[in-house]
């Protein structure tokens, strides 16, 4: 049985080289002391792994070493990646961390039990050479009084999957990342209370500090249908803002790449850009996504749906900040 460390077959090695070159052309390089690269990625049912380079139709799970090596290569280009849909079985995550090496670390929650929680974890994978945890790690639980409020869009229970916040340090800069995966529910209207609650929580947290440069960001899978809809309005109701770059890119393999405005705006990276107490001290440079489809499983006939189980149905979404503006 092959392992993640074994040399891949020649056709897969060639595929990985093409993937690396595409990443070089798309993702900014890591420059010590100058930039910070943050990503969010819903990796579909990131759980177990079949230790074959390419699975057959009879194999289960469908994630193979070929797909996992692609995942590892993509993750390695960022300083911190918030990952959603990490499941109870950690075989794929363990192999990922082994392959990335001792210079990488991870933090995660326990699984969220129950149907709405889908037995998922929230996780951060990070490059220890570039960033380090700075002390805070917590799950966000709404105050009891919020659950007693009257209103059509009021939250009546805790988050289906509890948001996870971790603070990191990059040089002299500290930043807090809050990751979440909003419950999809039976209808889009069921997502509004969670979206409004996270927007409210972020605003109140940001306003607690008398320092304006505590760098609070929220990222993850918000299951937002479109910009300008009711879900988007709930998400941005307290001033959370998404950079313009990210309005122009698709989120999933099944989006219309020629018309990204019609795509579902599931994945987001956002922060407050108004209100001195809420502002970032880091300077935003650019953001985007990475389309891995042209570079994976090139020598076999395989559908997008099949690739979604081997890698993901979501694209990674990323942003770059400049650290040079920090004084």
What is the homologous superfamily of the domain 10-322 according to CATH?
Answer: Endonuclease/exonuclease/phosphatase (3.60.10.10)
Confidence class for position 273, pLDDT limits 50, 70, 90: confident
Query: 10-26 and 65-75 are packed helices; what angle lies between their axes, rounded to 10 degrees?
Result: 20
Q: What is the pLDDT of residue 226?
A: 80
The answer, yes or no, to whether residue 200 has pLDDT greater than 70, is yes
The answer, yes or no, to whether residue 327 has pLDDT greater than 50, is no
d(CA 322, CA 282): 6
DSSP 217: E
The answer, yes or no, to whether residue 133 has pLDDT greater than 50, is yes
d(CA 288, CA 285): 11
More confident residue, 185 or 256: 256
pLDDT average, residue stretch 178-183: 86
Confidence class for position 207, pLDDT limits 50, 70, 90: confident
Give the model confidence (pLDDT) of 36-56 as tens digits: 999 999 999 999 999 999 999
Highest mean pLDDT among 11-25, 171-185, 311-325: 11-25
The answer, yes or no, to whether residue 63 has pLDDT greater than 70, is yes
Which residues of the chain form beta strands (DSSP E)? 35-46, 80-87, 104-108, 120-127, 132-139, 164-170, 173-181, 216-224, 240-241, 265-272, 283-289, 317-322
d(CA 195, CA 202): 11
**Owner of token pair 């079985």:** 89
Task: Report the chain's mean pLDDT, rounded to a whole number.
Answer: 88
pTM value? 0.93
Residue 235: strand, helix, or coil: helix
* Residue ranges of domains in the chain: 10-322
Percent of the chain with pLDDT over 90: 64
The answer, yes or no, to whether residue 117 has pLDDT greater than 60, is no
């Amino acid at each position: 049985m092959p392992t993640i460390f074994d040399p891949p077959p020649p056709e897969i090695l060639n595929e990985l080289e093409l993937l690396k070159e595409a990443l070089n052309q798309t993702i900014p390089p890591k420059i010590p002391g100058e930039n910070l690269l943050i990503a969010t990625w819903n990796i579909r049912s990131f759980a177990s792994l079949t230790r074959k380079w390419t699975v057959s139709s009879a194999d289960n799970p469908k994630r193979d070493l070929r797909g996992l090596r692609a995942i590892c290569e993509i993750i390695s280009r960022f300083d911190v990646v918030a990952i959603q849909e990490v499941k109870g079985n950690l075989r794929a995550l363990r192999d990922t961390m082994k392959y990335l090496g001792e210079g990488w670390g991870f933090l995660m929650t326990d699984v969220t039990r129950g149907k709405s929680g889908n037995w998922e974890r929230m996780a951060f994978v990070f490059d220890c050479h570039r960033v380090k945890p700075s002390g805070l790690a917590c799950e966000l639980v709404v105050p009891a009084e919020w659950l007693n409020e009257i209103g059509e869009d009021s939250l009546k229970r805790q988050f289906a999957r509890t948001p996870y916040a971790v603070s990191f340090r990059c040089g002299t800069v500290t930043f807090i990342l809050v990751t979440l995966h909003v419950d999809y529910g039976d209808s889009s209207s069921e997502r509004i209370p969670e979206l409004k609650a996270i927007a409210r929580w972020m605003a109140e947290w940001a306003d607690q500090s008398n320092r304006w440069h505590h760098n609070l960001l929220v990222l993850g899978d918000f299951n937002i249908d479109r910009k300008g809809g009711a879900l988007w309005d709930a998400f941005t109701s307290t001033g959370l803002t998404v950079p313009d770059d990210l309005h122009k890119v698709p989120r999933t393999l099944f989006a219309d790449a020629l018309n990204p405005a019609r795509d579902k705006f599931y994945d987001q990276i956002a922060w407050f850009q108004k209100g001195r107490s809420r502002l970032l001290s880091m300077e935003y440079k650019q953001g985007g996504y990475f389309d891995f489809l042209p570079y994976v499983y090139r020598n076999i006939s395989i559908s997008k749906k099949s690739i979604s189980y081997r890698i993901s149905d979501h694209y990674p979404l990323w942003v770059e900040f400049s650290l040079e503006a920090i004084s």
